[in-house]
Amino acid sequence: MTPSEHLDATFTALADPTRRAILARLARGEASVAELAEPFAISQPAISKHLKILERAGLVSRSRAATRRPCRIEGAPLAAANAWIERYRDLWESNYRRLDTLLDELQPERKPTPPKP
Amino acid sequence: MTPSEHLDATFTALADPTRRAILARLARGEASVAELAEPFAISQPAISKHLKILERAGLVSRSRAATRRPCRIEGAPLAAANAWIERYRDLWESNYRRLDTLLDELQPERKPTPPKP
C-alpha cells in the first residue's frame, strides 16, 4: 500500500461508530473476538467483519500464537492520520482566534459584574 | 446529526485521495468547481460528487451569493476528528518511546565512530 492508500484504509476504518468503539475498548487492553462482541448488540461474525477492516488499515493486529488470538490496537496508522489532519491545525485555530477577537470586541458592551459580597 | 454521525461523515470524506487533494487546494484559498476540477484528470460532475460528500461533512461550504459559488474549507470538522484521534496519542507515543528505549539499549554495542581527520 502507498501512504495515500494507507490513509484511505485508516479513515475508512474510523468512519464507523462500532469500529471506533472497538478501538476504544482495545486501548484499555487486548481482547478476544468474543470479549469484543459482548458489549455490542451484534453477532461475532459482524464483529469479525469490522475487525477485518481495522486489520486491513493496520489499526488492529492479532496474535497468531495463542488459540484465543487476542486483538490489540496499533498506534502507527493513528499517528499517520493525525499527521495529515495536523497540517490544517492553523485553519481551525485561526477560526477560534477570529471568534476570540469577536468576543473581545463585544466585551466592553457587557455590564461589569457586581463585586462579591 | 449526532457528534458520532458527524465523525462518520468526516472520516468518510477524508477516506479518498481526490477529496484530500481538494481540501489541500482549498486550504490555499477559495475556488470554483471549474478551478477545482482543472488540476485533476476527472470531470466537473465527478468533482461535484466529491464536493457533496465534503459538504455533507461540513468540511466545505459554498457561497450562495456569488454566481461562481466559490467553495471554501471549514476547519471545525477537522478539529473534531483531531480531538477523537488525539485521545490515542499516548498509544503511538509509547510505541516510539519503546523504540527509543530499544535503540538506547543497543547503543553500547555500537562501535565508536572514528575521530574526524
A-B interface: how many C-beta pairs under 8 angstroms? 89
pLDDT, residue B108, reads 62
Distance, in Å, from the CA atom of A12 to the CA atom of A4, rounded to the nearest integer, reads 12
The mean predicted confidence, pLDDT, of chain A is: 87
Q: Is B41 on the interface with A (CB under 8 A)?
A: no
Locate cell 486550504: which residue? B27
- Residue among A73, A53, A50 nearest A61 (CA): A73
* CB–CB contact B11 A15 (8 Å): yes
Who has greater pLDDT, A18 or A107? A18
Q: Which residues of chain B have pLDDT under 70?
A: 66, 95-96, 108-117
* A81-100 residues touching B, CB cutoff 8 A: 81-82, 84-89, 91-95
Paired sense of beta strands A60-62 and B71-73, if any: unpaired
- Dist. CA A58–CA A81, nearest whole Å: 12
Nearest to A8 among B17, B76, B88 (CB): B17
Q: Is B21 within 8 Å of chain A by CB?
A: no
Contact (CB<8Å) A11/B12? yes
User: Residue A18 above 60 pLDDT?
Assistant: yes
Axis crossing angle, helix B44-56 with helix B3-14, rounded to the nearest 10: 150
> Looking at chain B, which residue has its C-alpha nearest residue A16?
B8
pLDDT tier at A114, thresholds 50, 70, 90: low
Please tell me which of the candidates B20, B76, B92 has its beta carbon nearest to residue A75.
Answer: B92
Per-residue pLDDT, B16:
97
Q: Where are chain A's structural domains?
A: 3-75
pLDDT in tens, A49-81: 999 999 999 999 998 776 778 999 999 999 999
Residue B60's SS3 state is strand
Least Cα separation, residue A37 to chain B (angstroms): 20
Query: Would you call B36 exposed, middle or buried from its count of C-beta atoms within 10 A (0-12, 13-18, 19+)?
Result: buried
Q: Check pLDDT > 80 for residue A102.
A: no
CATH number among 3.40.50.2300, 1.10.10.10, 3.20.20.330, 3.10.28.10, domain A3-75? 1.10.10.10
pLDDT of amino acid B117: 58
B15 CB neighbours in chain A (<8 A) are 7-12, 15
- DSSP, collapsed to helix, strand or coil, labels residue B35 as helix
The partner residue sitting opposite A92, judged by closest CB among B4, B75, B84, is B75
Q: To the nearest whole angstrom, how far is the Cα of B24 from the nearest Cα of chain A?
A: 9
* pLDDT at residue B76, rounded to an integer: 92
